[in-house]
Structure 1
Amino acid sequence: MSDELKIEDYRNAAGGWGSMAGMAKVVPKEGVSPDLLDALRRQNKPEGVMCVSCSWGKPAKPHLAEFCENGAKATAWELTRERVTPAFFQRHSVRELDGWQDYDLEQAGRLTHPMRYDRATDRYVAASWDEAFAVIGAKLKTLDPTKVVLYSSGRASLETSFMFSLFARMWGQQNLPDSSNMCHETTSVGLKNAIGSPVATIQLEDYDHCDAIFVFGQNVGTNSPRMLHTLKDCAKRGVEIVTFNPLRERGWEKFVDPQNPIEMTVGAPTRISTQYHQVRAGGDISAILGICKIAIEADDKAVAEGGERVLDHHFIAQHTVRFEEFAAFARAANWDEIVRESGLTRTAIEDAARVYMRAKRVIAVYGMGITQHRYGIDSLYMLVDMLLLRGNVGREGAGPGPVRGHSNVQGQRTVGITEKTELAPVERLKALFQFDPPTEDGWDTVESCRQIIAGTAQGFVQLGGNFLRATPEHAKMKEGWAKLPIAVHIATKLNKSHLTPAQDETWLLPCLGRMEHDMQATGRQAVSMEDTFSHIHGSVGKAKPASDTLLSEPAIVAGIAKAVLDANPNVPWDAWVGDYGQVRTAIENTYPDKFGNFNDRLFTPGGFWKGNPAAHRKWETKSGKAEFNVPRAMNASGFAEAEGRFRLVTLRSNDQFNTTIYGYDDRFRGISGTRMIVMMNRSDMLAHGLSERDTIALESDAEDGVERVVDGLQVVEYNIPAGCIGGYYPELNCLIPVEHHALESHVPAGKSVPVRIRKGR
């Protein structure tokens, strides 16, 4: 990598030759092989292999190539020809490796052997699997299980996730944070409260029937590129797409289909958004309130003049509560405040409202630009309020459509990865497996961080992921992590979390990747995952494993469980490892309403739907109806305006998936060569006497007395609202206080972080 910042205006559409060039730049570094080509050919197709990247739906009738640029990068990343063997660790100390950048660590290749950290030499040394399980089990049995964290990344399959959560509860705890805690837990809490279902009410085919799509805080071109095919089809048939996002993101502007020869040669790109509104960070509450205010007042006028009603009063009366309270709030809302807090003009909001009022069926798409704020729940409630006004929940072509990130992060929650007793099938677990599950809530991500920082956590078992790098408050977290008695990492590649050793025991346990052939006692195994539309898909890997010393994730979880727990004849860990179908039967028995005939339906084209009561207008809320809610604030940031204070929006680049960095090219934003940048509005640059490429530092402005600083950041002029700045995650996570999170869901509030600028060194 070069640390030289390169800035070049990118004028092309998303997709097209740029996408092909992006793949050509990254994929060959990992090595093009027959296994890679076969995995891409089969990717996201019935009886194929499910991508390890995003969770966008897998159609029953797939495209010729049902993968995107970032999916190809993720597949090549997993099937790399590079290897991290015991000899690698003989050459490099842990202290040295901790100085490497994220990209370089993962480019070193696939882990091949179980490794134990040796403090005397500051190196990982090889061990046998028997030794690993024996030592880990012996250590864990000396600890208080309620003080050990069992974290899972969104890549783990339904089978592995079920086994992991069952192990936790049989051990007497449910400290089960996962990737959802860092991104879409606001959805799980907010939608559950408002409509009784914690996930999207729509399915992929609903996009064939909608009249309008309203988009909030989601970057389709980078985070879920396969969605662009759906959006293109919608745009071609005249669906109006109204986008609200602080940054101009190319995927929401125009798209060239790489699978369309005409578009790739002489055709014009498809325009995606018919309106694009650059809302201030956290300003979605006010923007949506403005739309609701216009619709409600238009309906009031229709009543007074005997005109056609704007709102769906039959739906409101039959299916909702607290409408009058919300309507009174919207009528009383002040336009000056709406405009100030949203950052949009009244005319812009009126333009969006006209689209909403004339559309018969509206889908509301959103991402972490809604969920990762202090008042993220209020943003989500406002989005639901807007949909409820015209009955746009629980009918064809309409409803909330959160776009989940990781490929199975939603599914993990479905099969028991949760710290909340109310969401766990306690009585069924007790009856099926003959043990007493814990009834005290466990730790989520924020509480796990608190306990690690405080020194009260006693251990961490990480099923994939890069927790230490992904979480806020990095400096304090690193100090606390080093005091943990044990850290166990189940992983495919080396990352930053592996390079802060725990006090007594630190282990790297290498596992098979999803693309790889998984042969167990009963033959080749399949795993399953859930997409963003609540469809369950089977996945079969066929690539040669990176090493014959790897174990599968289910085998590793079972090995740890057997080393820690007393034998239970109702939980046949070895039989489950030998036949994942038996795990699926256990899942079906535990969740019969969602997984009936699980094994028989595993390879249903397009996946099988686990169901959603709210999609049928069955509201499993406290009131028994869909609920209108009045927001507590007009902006979701959760902190006040102050002279010199900016709202930092943390972002992914185009060469990135979560903390995995594939390269240093953020093509759509025209930035390459380094990730140490800050995107600023030109007026803010002038006000601070800054020019492009100047070096600055960002410091936390959280008013909690803690110094948090990132230096060596270069300024990039960018089209972003005044008062807001953008920078990359995870490099800027250390500026987020652990207590700066969504109030109810505890999601770190990484989309509006209070910071100040100071001249760098």
Structure 2
Amino acid sequence: MDRSENTDKPRIEPYDEPTGGWGSVKSLVSKASEEGLLASTVWATMQHQNKPDGYQCVSCSWAKPADPKPFEYCENGAKATMWEITPKRCDREFFARHRVSELLEWTDHDLEKQGRLTTPMKYDRSLDQYVPVKWEDAFRDIAAELNGLDPNSVVFYVSGRASLEASHMWQLFARIYGSNNLPDSSNMCHESTSVGLPESIGSPVGTVTLEDFDACDMMFFFGHNTGTNAPRLLHWVQKARKRGAPVITFNPLQERGLMRFKSPQNPLEMLSPDDGTKMSSDYYQVRVGGDVAAMTGIAKAVFALDDAAKATGGSRVLDTAFIEEHCHGFAEFETFVRAAEWDQIARCSGIPRDELEHVARTYARADKVIANYGMGLTQHRHGIENVQMLVNLLLMRGMMGREGAGISPIRGHSNVQGQRTVGITEKLKLIPVEKFEAFYDFTVPKEDGLDTVKACEGLIDGSVKGFVCLGGNLARAVPETGKVEAAWKNMRLNVQISTKLNRTHLLASEKSYILPCLGRLERDSQHGVEQIVSVEDSTACIHASFGKTEPASRELLSEPKIVAELAKATVPGRSSVPWDAWAADYGRVRDAIERAYPDDFRDFNRRMATPGGFHRDIGASKREWRTETGKANFLTPESFDVDPDIDTTAQDVLKLITVRSNDQFNTTVYGYDDRLRGVKGTRMVILMNAEDMRRLGLTDRDRVDLETHAEDGVTRRVENYLVHEWQLPKGNCAGYYPELNALIPLWHHSRRAHVPAAKSVPVRILRRSAA
């Protein structure tokens, strides 16, 4: 078996096809064949994907329509389904054949490709192997370890795939045990949103629904690769473009999804010889860290248009009635924008004045505008300011709480937004402490817990002794890979509740366990009764999810069942939570969620199967501003420089952007091809601007090493990467996540949200010798 990518003969070829189209179909057929799946099995399963009576996709969190198409899934969603229903098994015989030290040499792709985990396993240090363990023994032993540790030294991590029911149970278990250390994957991507939006508009999530996308007459996109990370959104973008709505994109990289798209859902379109729909009416390659400057330029031009309208007696461009009635802080914002110099705006953003003025004119003509954004805004030192500046731009023209308009943070993993809604958070202010204590007769710890960055700091300094993870591959997802992996092995306890093998399982601590669970696609029967779970999409709609396939193993337990058994063994008698009743009937967990969060989950069990989901109570979408001022707040940035800690004056220092390929989702790598960028057979590629390459004496396909440019005494280095010329702003380069997490210092994060600043990492490019 090939245990490493083919880096000897990688190919990089121009790819001029649209996103979607036959390239997507061919990729899915190839993946099904690689997994050994019969076509009939694949297609029969995926007919239930994202349907009101089916299962909700385990890939991205994009919205699920009430009237789905026959093929209501995208390429990445289909790959995620194939990855989960694979006939391959990572069973006890597999672990008997391989030592952990050997498996640590395998790639992430090849570890997960072994198939579904089937049996609870316990690490045997004397054998350097995982060996089978009975469920009851695992629960008893893990409970004994937890009760021998200080609860403040244990982290209860949650990946974005866990259901609302499992997540609510998980956070109660952790708090009853005595820990508020409840980080989740949102800490690493959209925490800048969760901190920034409440300050601006009083809501931690977006304000738009699919109905708004059908009604809008313009869209912004900032820092999001929609074709890879939320491909089903492309259908709504395409519809907007076909009705003449401008779509204006700001991204350092030209991404195929927001350039050209051909819908696999449309037979006539697929058979047409044309290049598909042009998705962005205007596409601007903003410099890394230049988003605030670009938005300031648009706002400055809007003010100028409004001034001209006032002078001539024309219709105002600013929504002055909205600003006066609903907003606070406008005067300070206006002073900042008007004082900004065009030369500085153009220099910091990389976009000329006349082009930003063109954007402002287009914006001024629109009546219903949606602003979409992704981690290109959030994963910076000033990620919060990025998010708030985009809100400012919308508030100027009253584009909030209006049909067809609003803010749209595009979340990643399938239920990462919902987990926060039901209590997965380290911040006490975000949970109903008094209700939990009154309902369940226990005392919630009264100090905030650790977020992901703080948990990793504790891991490295030795104060964190245990990680209990409900899904995910955390050690690969976080920054500072070298230090984190070394420290992980020094912990006392490592518990991983998972569907597939990954590298974090193999960083064996003194006591390590793998607890295999049912996947969301699988039937979950408790005492002979089929169970339903639920998730929240990125438009704050709640959906039921019905498992459809047979479990991969008779030994698998559901996530709620595992949580309940761990809690019963660890904290017996320390609360009145009815663990057995909840594990037997998830509807009772939903009743508990409704009791704790009545505004968002009114009539939860009755409404959960509503086609298209039911919408949470988002005040900002109704112009109810749940902020300290009682209004929507214009929040003025400190400066244009969103990465003030990066000194790029040295000629060999560039700002690295970490990106994903179209053949992966988060840390799961389905293959070594990135079709949309024309990269085949490798992920060890650095995309560079042509002028930067010439300046550094590099030519296309040279081999280089990369080192982090940081004066903290730590060497962070990756080796033997292939340089490829790419259309990027000068001073910027790009390469793949999670491999390049090794270059990100743990301290390099959003100042208040602690999101790793993975979209602007200072690196040096070092040419390798010919030898």
Bin the TM-score by the shorter chain.
over 0.9
Q: 2:615 is matched with which residue?
A: 609
Mark the runs of 5 or more structure 2 residues left unpaired by the alignment: none
1:412 counterpart SS class: helix
Residue identity matched to 1:746: H
Q: 2:486 is matched with which residue?
A: 479
Task: Work out the CA distance in 2 between the residues paired with 1:723 and 1:26.
Answer: 36
1:17-59 deviations in Å (ceiling 9; x for gaps): 0110111221221232455333200100111110000011000
Q: 1:74 is matched with which residue?
A: 80
1:369-416 deviations in Å (ceiling 9; x for gaps): 000000111111110110000000111011100111100000000000
Give 1:618 deviation, angstroms: 0.7
Find out whether 1:529 has 2:535 as its counterpart: yes
Aligned identity (percent) is 54
Task: Work out the CA distance in 2 between the residues paired with 1:640 and 1:277.
Answer: 24
Find out whether 1:312 has 2:319 as its counterpart: yes
Does structure 1 retain, via aligned residues, the 8 Å contact 2:228–2:661?
yes
Find out whether 1:587 has 2:586 as its counterpart: no
Q: 2:346 is matched with which residue?
A: 339
Task: Work out the CA distance in 1 between the residues paired with 2:675 and 2:219.
Answer: 26
Find out whether 1:288 has 2:295 as its counterpart: yes
2:514 counterpart SS class: strand
Q: 1:114 is matched with which residue?
A: 120
Structure 1-normalised TM-score? 0.99
Among 394, 399, 415, which residue is 1:392 paired with? 399
Give 1:687 deviation, angstroms: 0.8
Task: Work out the CA distance in 2 between the residues paired with 1:736 and 1:621.
Answer: 34
Find out whether 1:737 has 2:745 as its counterpart: yes
Residue identity matched to 1:9: P
Structure 2-normalised TM-score? 0.97
1:634 counterpart SS class: coil
Find out whether 1:2 has 2:10 as its counterpart: no
1:265-313 deviations in Å (ceiling 9; x for gaps): 1253111100000001111110000000111122223334433211011
Among 187, 211, 230, which residue is 1:205 paired with? 211
Task: Work out the CA distance in 1 between the residues paired with 2:363 and 2:265.
Answer: 32
Task: Work out the CA distance in 2 between the residues paired with 1:707 and 1:46.
Answer: 51
Task: Work out the CA distance in 1 between the residues paired with 2:451 and 2:15.
Answer: 40
Range 548-557 or range 259-268, more displaced = 259-268
Q: 1:14 is matched with which residue?
A: 19
Mark the runs of 5 or more structure 1 residues left unpaired by the alignment: none
Q: 2:388 is matched with which residue?
A: 381
Task: Work out the CA distance in 2 between the residues paired with 1:13 and 1:690.
Answer: 30
Q: 1:707 is matched with which residue?
A: 715
Task: Work out the CA distance in 1 between the residues paired with 2:575 and 2:457.
Answer: 37
Find out whether 1:633 has 2:633 as its counterpart: no
Q: 1:125 is matched with which residue?
A: 131
Give 1:614 deviation, angstroms: 0.5
How many aligned residue pairs are there? 760
Q: 1:680 is matched with which residue?
A: 688
Task: Work out the CA distance in 1 between the residues paired with 2:643 and 2:370.
Answer: 25
Counterparts of 1:456-471 in structure 2, within 5 Å, are 456-471=463-478
Find out whether 1:413 has 2:424 as its counterpart: no
Give 1:221 deviation, angstroms: 0.6
Q: 2:672 is matched with which residue?
A: 664
Q: 1:452 is matched with which residue?
A: 459
Give 1:568 deviation, angstroms: 5.3
Q: 2:152 is matched with which residue?
A: 146
Among 552, 573, 580, which residue is 2:558 paired with? 552
Give 1:79 deviation, angstroms: 0.7
Task: Work out the CA distance in 1 between the residues paired with 2:312 and 2:339.
Answer: 21
Does structure 2 retain, via aligned residues, the 8 Å contact 1:341–1:635?
yes
Among 495, 509, 512, which residue is 1:506 paired with? 512
Among 614, 619, 622, which residue is 2:628 paired with? 622
Residue identity matched to 2:415: N
Does structure 2 retain, via aligned residues, the 8 Å contact 1:370–1:379?
yes
Counterparts of 1:254-293 in structure 2, within 5 Å, are 254-266=260-272, 268=274, 269-293=276-300
Residue identity matched to 1:459: G
Range 300-309 or range 618-627, more displaced = 300-309
Q: 2:170 is matched with which residue?
A: 164
Task: Work out the CA distance in 1 between the residues paired with 2:42 and 2:466.
Answer: 37
Among 504, 507, 523, which residue is 1:517 paired with? 523
Task: Work out the CA distance in 1 between the residues paired with 2:87 and 2:11.
Answer: 30
Q: 1:232 is matched with which residue?
A: 238
1:42 counterpart SS class: coil
Task: Work out the CA distance in 2 between the residues paired with 1:494 and 1:137.
Answer: 23
Residue identity matched to 2:439: L
Does structure 1 retain, via aligned residues, the 8 Å contact 2:241–2:247?
yes
Task: Work out the CA distance in 2 between the residues paired with 1:742 and 1:331.
Answer: 27
Task: Work out the CA distance in 2 between the residues paired with 1:472 and 1:748.
Answer: 7
Task: Work out the CA distance in 2 between the residues paired with 1:615 and 1:648.
Answer: 36
Among 734, 759, 764, which residue is 1:756 paired with? 764
Q: 1:91 is matched with which residue?
A: 97
Provide the alpha-carbon RMSD of the alignment: 1.1
Find out whether 1:46 has 2:62 as its counterpart: no
Residue identity matched to 1:466: N
Counterparts of 1:359-378 in structure 2, within 5 Å, are 359-378=366-385
Query: Measured at CA, do residues 476 and 642 of structure 1 come closer, stay the same or move farther in structure 2, by a change above 3 Å?
Result: same
Task: Work out the CA distance in 2 between the residues paired with 1:271 and 1:332.
Answer: 36
Task: Work out the CA distance in 2 between the residues paired with 1:323 and 1:688.
Answer: 45
Q: 2:359 is matched with which residue?
A: 352
Query: Measured at CA, do residues 516 and 586 of structure 1 come closer, stay the same or move farther in structure 2, by a change above 3 Å?
Result: same
Residue identity matched to 1:284: D
Does structure 1 retain, via aligned residues, the 8 Å contact 2:517–2:558?
yes
Task: Work out the CA distance in 2 between the residues paired with 1:717 and 1:434.
Answer: 62
Does structure 2 retain, via aligned residues, the 8 Å contact 1:700–1:754?
yes
Find out whether 1:241 has 2:247 as its counterpart: yes
Q: 2:578 is matched with which residue?
A: 572
Residue identity matched to 2:756: P
1:732 counterpart SS class: helix
Range 276-285 or range 564-573, more displaced = 564-573
Range 627-636 or range 79-88, more displaced = 627-636
Give 1:569 deviation, angstroms: 6.7
Residue identity matched to 1:605: P
Query: Measured at CA, do residues 9 and 538 of structure 1 come closer, stay the same or move farther in structure 2, by a change above 3 Å?
Result: same
Does structure 2 retain, via aligned residues, the 8 Å contact 1:297–1:331?
no
Give 1:635 deviation, angstroms: 3.0
Task: Work out the CA distance in 2 between the residues paired with 1:27 and 1:694.
Answer: 35
Task: Work out the CA distance in 2 between the residues paired with 1:456 and 1:692.
Answer: 46
Task: Work out the CA distance in 2 between the residues paired with 1:540 and 1:183.
Answer: 28
Does structure 2 retain, via aligned residues, the 8 Å contact 1:713–1:760?
no
